[in-house]
A = this chain, B = another copy of it.
Amino acid sequence: MVAKVKTERRMFHNNEECPIRNVITQIGDKWSMLILFALVDGADRFNSLKSRIVGISQRMLTQTLRDLEREGYVKRTVFPEVPARVEYELTTMGLGIVKPLYQLVTWASENHEEIKRSRREYDEKIM
């Protein structure tokens, strides 16, 4: 069986003490995973990321990159050129978390048709 995530059938709840919430809360936001995946193939610059991650605003790209940097997933490098050039790349830990995330994405890809079907079915029952 899989490892326990609870204490005596009592679930963690405090963000500080619960690794699940503590880690997933950050990655679970709107853009973090997409940015991590966008960096898997190697370093990239701000505006390149912005155009590749369709729909993200400048504000959220900056902010999420800062958060990912703070968590230790992303390394930010400023090249003192004119105009400024900034590159972002995954750290070892960033590459580390991407692996289990891919497991999830793979599962999601394989099952999201079934999930959409389940949603439709549920919604029909309600109405």
A80 contacts the other chain (Cβ, under 8 Å)? Answer: no
- Expressed in whole angstroms, the Cα–Cα distance for A101 and B29 within the complex equals 16
What mask results when residues 64 to 108 of chain A are scored 1 for a CB within 8 Å of chain B, else 0? 000001111000000000000000000001001111111111111
A70-B122, A71-B118, A118-B70 given as contacts; is B24 within 8 A of A108 (CB)? yes
What bracket does the count of chain A residues touching chain B fall in? 35 or more
- Expressed in whole angstroms, the Cα–Cα distance for A2 and B32 within the complex equals 18
A29-B28, A70-B122 given as contacts; is B9 within 8 A of A105 (CB)? no
B71 touches A22 (CB 8 A): no
Specify which chain B residues have a CB less than 8 angstroms from the CB of A12 in the assembled complex. 34, 54
What mask results when residues 30 to 73 of chain A are scored 1 for a CB within 8 Å of chain B, else 0? 10011001101100000000001111100000000000011110
A contacts, CB < 8 Å to B: 2-3, 5-6, 9-14, 19-25, 27-30, 33-34, 37-38, 40-41, 52-56, 69-72, 93, 96-109, 111-112, 114-119, 122-123
